């Protein structure tokens, strides 16, 4: 018995003394294994930071979606076998443990997953990057479908999930809200005192993330006093109180992170005046933008550095990524709200505005957080070439703006989830393990019939695995001999799940007329924000059509499945089994997308618009290996100016779909959605509909010819290496952080 196994058993025996019943056996084993892993990871983390000599990067984000960690941790630490042997003695397998593992759902979508992909990727680079976020008690809501509609449920993930965190750290900070500021003039300088404030305590809890080489840390702030403050991720901001709560959360994250960053710096290097030579702080979108005035506050109020110098240092240190140009997603806080909740911070924002002659405070009415961020950071970046060029020409035309196209963690989205594919490629003598750049060499097999047929077999096996999982977990039956056509992402009008559904309804009309279609399964999964009526209605439509088809004569040919409660684990199961990746946002609206990259790496072919990173996928694989349709971003922007959906409703195919919506499915009319399309259609499904149908026929024809199809698949897999988060991090370093240079 080796040391590690002894540690697990000792821990287990201790837990057993307190909690000894059959139900808790697996739980106790899990807790024992996790706590031993935490120690190992911490050790590895400390080894890394001891030898690091470059600048430290702090990546601040309101969300992180790391997914389950246990399996990758065991693999990365090389201790799978030892752990398997220990738990086998108690009658359990690794799979039991992996199923029991807890997913910290501290994010809602692409933004949080991107942060996690960066931390995972960074473990195998030489960049020291630390994540900061909040320890939400409930995390993202659980989605249930009741009576065909989405219901949101709170789940207390922390109750179980606390075992994943290292809480022994002594870092606790006070964060101040409300009160008033008193100014004294001393030695020709204004000195500010924030009085009568309310104070809440933030405690640091670490979640270690591992890669093959090394470990990075995600620091989550736990609120010790105000139970309500970190209960939920993105509390409903329909009401005034809801908005204040969101703002409080943001400042809580910013203040505790900045205090921690500065004290960590001072522990190592004593001179505060040189801090801008040694650290970089990166804002993941504008949610943590209050870090800027908070940093200035500490330099000015605690270290007596003058305001102008503090602002200059801030600018050297900070950088900001923009992730959307959708107006309703660009944050603006009412002046009066910030002034009241954060009086000292407001004074600093006013000073910044004056100093930079900025318009970041508009009409003394609200504060534009994108301007605050861009004007106080030395650089802004967008997340795909198209998105960066759009922001550089529009909202940030006066700023230094660069592009760093997003990336994904291949450890998770390739090596971990598609074993057979990895084995096939390695079997060809290409040493791709943890070196995704080598994937490019796989392209030379695109005309090798044996390899093409092996690829087909792997896809089929992945489909069988998925279908078994869907049957066991959800009671859903799918036809493994059909095309798997998949759209998984948040439900949002701009992502146009509705356009996909319009196509499915069109196919239903053909079937009802007695025509035949090629066997196809549509898989949807994703959550809509609880207050987002239009998005929830589309989910309701999908679930009703699914029920209708299940009870129809066409179920062998056409099937639509909605998998509830989309999360990282569902994506990991679906992506390797997918044939077609639906990326059909209105051109110009999806900043990048990262799901598109994950599908590509696993051999699915993209059916998409010329939007976000789809453009770059297209450039990498060539036009013949992707199916693009619809307006481009310029055409879309120009049409949207005087857009009138009524011009399209008499189109024969559009009309067929609109009438069928009226008639309804599963006993429910969807004339509400018909009305929406006819009078609103904010993201222009109708103008792109015919082009989308043509693209559908094109891609399904390509699928009929398996040699052509799997050749396309190989070209996609081989060129996906570009989207590695390691490449993205390297570019961040070269263009923005400069970690390894002065
Ligand atoms: C937020 C909201 C909130 C209010 C309602 C409308 C709305 C629409 C979009 C958003 C997104 C906020 C930022 C975000 O998550 N952007 C996503 O970032 C990903 C990582 O860069 C990127 O791949 C996605 O394209 C982008 O949508």
Separation of CA 357 and ligand 1 centre (Å): 29
113 CA closest ligand 1 atom index: 20
Which atom of ligand 1 sits closest to the CA of residue 387?
Answer: 25
Checking if the pLDDT of 508 tops 70, the result is yes
Give me ligand 1 centre to Cα 62, in Å.
12
Averaged pLDDT for residues 276-302: 98
DSSP string, 494-538: GGTHHHHHHHHHHHHHHHHTT-----EEEEEE----TT-HHHHHH
pLDDT at 21 over 70: no
- Counting ligand 1 atoms within 8 A of each CB, the residue from 59, 330, 591, 731 with the most, and so the one to mutate, is 591
At 535, list the tokens. Answer: 């998005």
The set of residues, in sequence order, having a beta carbon less than 8 Å from that of 572 and lying 6+ positions away, is 67, 412, 413, 416, 417
Tokens standing for residue 110 = 């692409």
63 Cα–ligand 1 center, Å: 12
- Angstrom distance (rounded) from CA 79 to CA 81: 6
Report, as an integer, the average pLDDT of 713-726: 98
Mutate which of 324, 380, 489 for ligand 1? The one with the most ligand atoms within 8 Å of its CB, which is 324
Nearest protein Cα to ligand 1, atom 4:
329
Cβ count within 10 A of residue 488: 21
Question: What separation in Å is there between the alpha carbon of 287 and the centre of ligand 1?
Answer: 12
Q: Residue 240 Cα, ligand 1 centroid: separation in angstroms? A: 23
Say which DSSP state 622 is in.
Answer: -
Residue 496 has pLDDT above 90, yes or no: yes
Average pLDDT (341-361) is: 97
Q: Could you tell me how many residues make up the chain?
A: 742
The two structure tokens encoding residue 410: 């291949």
Six token digits for residue 581 = 């990746």
> For residue 391, how far is its CA from the centre of ligand 1 (angstroms)?
14
Distance 323 CA to ligand 1 centre (A): 6
In this prediction, residue 578 carries a pLDDT of 98
- Taking the centre of ligand 1 as the mean of its atom positions, its distance from the CA of residue 325, in whole angstroms, is 9
506/518 Cα distance (integer angstroms): 14
Minimum CA distance residue for ligand 1 atom 1: 329
CA angle 115, 37, 120 (to 5 degrees): 20
Separation of CA 115 and ligand 1 centre (Å): 13
Q: Average of pLDDT values for 349-361? A: 97
Minimum-distance ligand 1 atom for the alpha carbon of 321:
21
What digits encode the pLDDT tens for the residues 146-190?
999 999 999 999 999 999 999 877 899 999 999 999 999 988 889
d(CA 420, CA 426): 10
Q: Of 611, 618, 723, whose CA–CA distance to 118 is shortest?
A: 723
Question: HSE (CB half, 13 Å, CA atoms) of 65?
Answer: 18
Distance from the alpha carbon of residue 436 to the mean position of ligand 1, in angstroms = 27
Confidence at residue 1, expressed as pLDDT on a 0 to 100 scale: 62
Residue nearest to atom 10 of ligand 1 (CA): 329
CA distances from 214 to 34, 45, 545, 565, 721 (A): 18, 7, 47, 32, 21
Closest ligand 1 atom to Cα of 285:
13
Return the ligand 1 atom nearest residue 114 CA: 20
Interval between CA 111 and ligand 1 midpoint (Å): 7
Q: Among 111, 735, 730, which Cα is nearest to 377's?
A: 735
H/E stretch holding 424 reads helix 419-427
**Binning pLDDT at 50, 70 and 90, where does residue 393 land?**
very high
Mutate to test the pocket of ligand 1, among 106, 108, 110, 283 (most ligand atoms within 8 A of CB): 110
Report the candidate in 553, 566, 542, 575 with the shortest Cα–Cα distance to residue 670.
542
Distance of CA 444 to the CA centre of its chain: 33
| Cβ pair 523, 488 in contact under 8 A | yes
Whether residue 422 contacts residue 440, with contact meaning beta carbons closer than 8 Å, is answered with no
- Return the bridge partners of 320, or none: 283, 380
Q: Which atom of ligand 1 is nearest to the CA of 406?
A: 21
According to the model, what pLDDT value does residue 57 have?
Answer: 98
* Distance from residue 11's CA to the centre of ligand 1 (Å): 43
**For 113-146, what is each residue's pLDDT tens digit?**
999 999 999 999 999 999 999 999 999 999 999 9
* pLDDT at 41 (0 to 100): 98
190-238 confidence digits (pLDDT tens) = 999 999 999 999 999 999 999 999 999 999 999 998 879 999 998 888 8
Q: Please name the residue whose Cα sits nearest to atom 8 of ligand 1.
A: 329
Q: Please report the pLDDT score of residue 20 as a whole number.
A: 64
Sign of the torsion formed by the C-alpha atoms of 588, 592, 595 and 600: positive
In this predicted model, what pLDDT tens digit does every residue of 647-659 receive, in sequence order?
Answer: 999 999 999 999 9
Q: Is the pLDDT of residue 562 over 70?
A: yes
Nearest CA to ligand 1 atom 6: 329
At 162, list the tokens: 């606390």
DSSP 723: G
In the prediction, which pLDDT does 113 show?
98
Residue nearest atom 3 in ligand 1 by C-alpha distance: 329
The residue whose CA is least distant from atom 15 of ligand 1 is 111
pLDDT digits (tens, 9 = 90+) for 515-538: 999 999 999 999 999 999 999 999
503 CA to centre of ligand 1 in angstroms: 25
Residue 354 burial (C-beta neighbours within 10 Å; 0-12, 13-18, 19+): exposed
Q: Could you tell me the distance, in angstroms and rounded to a whole number, from the CA of residue 324 to the centre of ligand 1?
A: 5
The yes-or-no verdict on residue 703 having pLDDT over 80 is yes
pLDDT digits (tens, 9 = 90+) for 61-84: 999 999 999 999 999 999 999 999
DSSP 273-322: GGHHHHEEEEEESSTTTTHHHHHHHIIIIIH---HHHHHHHHHHHEEEE-
**Given this model, what pLDDT does residue 236 score?**
85
Which whole number is the average pLDDT over 422-440?
A: 96
Average pLDDT score, the chain: 96
Nearest C-alpha to atom 23 of ligand 1 is from which residue?
593
Nearest to 386 by CA among 608, 640, 107: 608
pLDDT at residue 371 tops 70: yes
pLDDT of residue 23: 64
Is pLDDT above 70 for 585? yes
| pLDDT class of 394 with cuts at 50, 70, 90 | very high
Phi then psi for residue 713, to 5 deg, are -60, -45
The ligand 1 atom at the shortest distance from the C-alpha of residue 494 is: 8
Cross-strand partners of 231? none
pLDDT recorded at residue 22:
62
Cα-to-centroid distance, 729 and ligand 1 (Å): 20
CA 526 to ligand 1 center in whole angstroms: 14
Residue nearest to atom 18 of ligand 1 (CA): 111
Which atom, in ligand 1's list, is nearest to the CA of 585?
A: 25
Among protein residues, the one with the nearest Cα to ligand 1's atom 20 is 111
Give residue ranges with CB within 6 A of ligand 1: 109-111, 114, 285, 323-324, 326, 328-329, 383, 406, 492, 590-594, 612
Closest Cα to residue 717, out of 511, 438, 366, 324?
438
């Amino acid at each position: 018995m080796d040391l590690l196994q002894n540690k697990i058993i000792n821990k287990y025996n201790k837990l057993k003394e307190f909690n000894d019943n059959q139900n808790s056996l697996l739980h106790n084993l899990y807790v024992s294994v996790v706590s031993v892993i935490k120690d190992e990871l911490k050790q590895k983390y400390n080894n890394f930071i001891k030898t690091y000599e470059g600048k430290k990067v702090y990546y601040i984000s309101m969300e992180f979606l790391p997914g389950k960690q246990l399996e990758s941790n065991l693999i990365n630490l090389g201790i799978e076998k030892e752990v398997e042997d220990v738990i086998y003695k108690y009658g359990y397998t690794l799979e039991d443990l992996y199923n029991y593992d807890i997913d910290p759902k501290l994010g809602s979508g692409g933004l949080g997953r991107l942060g996690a992909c960066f931390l995972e990727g960074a473990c195998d680079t030489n960049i020291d990057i630390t994540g900061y976020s909040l320890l939400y008690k409930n995390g993202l809501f659980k989605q249930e479908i009741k009576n065909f509609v989405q219901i949101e449920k709170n789940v207390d993930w922390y109750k179980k999930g606390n075992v994943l965190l290292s809480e022994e750290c002594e870092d606790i900070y006070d964060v101040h809200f409300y009160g008033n500021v008193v100014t004294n003039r001393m030695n020709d300088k204004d000195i500010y005192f924030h009085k009568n404030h309310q104070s809440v305590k933030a405690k640091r809890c670490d979640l270690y993330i591992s890669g093959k080489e090394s470990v990075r840390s995600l620091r989550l702030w736990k609120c010790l006093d105000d139970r309500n403050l970190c209960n939920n991720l993105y509390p409903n901001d329909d009401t005034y109180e809801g908005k204040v709560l969101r703002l409080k959360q943001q400042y809580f994250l910013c203040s505790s992170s900045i205090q921690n960053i500065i004290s960590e710096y001072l522990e190592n290097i004593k001179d505060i005046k040189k801090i801008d030579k040694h650290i970089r702080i990166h804002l993941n979108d504008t949610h943590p933008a209050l870090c800027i005035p908070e940093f200035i506050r500490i330099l000015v109020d605690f270290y007596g550095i003058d305001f102008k110098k503090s602002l200059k240092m801030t600018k050297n240190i900070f950088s900001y990524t923009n992730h959307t140009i959708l107006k309703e997603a660009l944050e603006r806080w009412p002046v009066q709200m910030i002034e009241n909740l954060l009086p000292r911070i407001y004074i600093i924002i006013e000073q910044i505005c004056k100093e930079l002659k900025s318009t970041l405070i508009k009409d003394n009415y609200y504060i534009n957080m994108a301007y605050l961020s861009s004007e106080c950071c030395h650089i802004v970046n967008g997340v795909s070439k198209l998105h960066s060029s759009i922001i550089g020409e529009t909202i940030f035309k006066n700023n230094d703006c660069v592009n760093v196209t997003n990336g994904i963690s291949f450890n998770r989205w390739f090596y971990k989830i598609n074993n057979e594919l990895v084995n096939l490629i390695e079997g060809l003598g290409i040493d791709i393990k943890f070196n995704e750049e080598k994937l490019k060499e796989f392209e030379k097999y695109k005309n090798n019939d044996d390899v093409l047929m092996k690829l087909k077999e792997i896809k089929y096996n992945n489909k069988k695995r998925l279908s078994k999982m869907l049957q066991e977990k959800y009671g859903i039956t799918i036809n493994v001999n059909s095309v798997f056509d998949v759209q998984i992402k948040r439900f949002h009008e701009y992502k146009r799940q509705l356009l996909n559904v319009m196509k499915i309804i069109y196919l239903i009309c053909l079937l009802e007329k007695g025509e035949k279609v090629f066997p196809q399964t549509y898989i949807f999964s994703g959550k809509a924000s609880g207050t987002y009526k239009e998005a929830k209605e589309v989910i309701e439509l999908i679930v009703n059509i699914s029920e209708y088809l299940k009870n129809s004569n066409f179920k062998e040919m056409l099937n639509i499945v909605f998998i509830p409660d989309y999360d990282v684990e569902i994506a990991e199961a679906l992506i390797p089994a997918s044939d077609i990746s639906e990326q059909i946002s209105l051109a110009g609206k999806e900043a990048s997308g990262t799901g598109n990259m994950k599908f590509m790496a696993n051999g699915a072919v993209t059916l998409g618009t010329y939007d976000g990173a789809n453009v770059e996928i297209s450039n990498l694989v060539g036009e013949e290996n992707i199916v693009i349709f619809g307006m481009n971003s310029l055409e879309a922007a120009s049409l949207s100016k005087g857009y009138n959906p009524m011009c399209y409703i008499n189109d024969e195919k559009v009309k067929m779909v609109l009438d069928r919506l009226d008639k309804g499915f599963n006993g429910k009319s969807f004339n509400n959605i018909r009305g929406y399309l006819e009078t609103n259609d904010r993201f222009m499904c109708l103008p792109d509909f015919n082009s989308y149908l043509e693209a559908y026929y094109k891609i399904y024809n390509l699928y009929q010819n398996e040699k052509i199809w799997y050749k396309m698949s190989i070209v996609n897999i081989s060129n996906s290496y570009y989207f590695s988060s390691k490449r993205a991090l390297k570019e961040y370093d070269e263009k923005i952080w400069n970690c390894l240079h002065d």
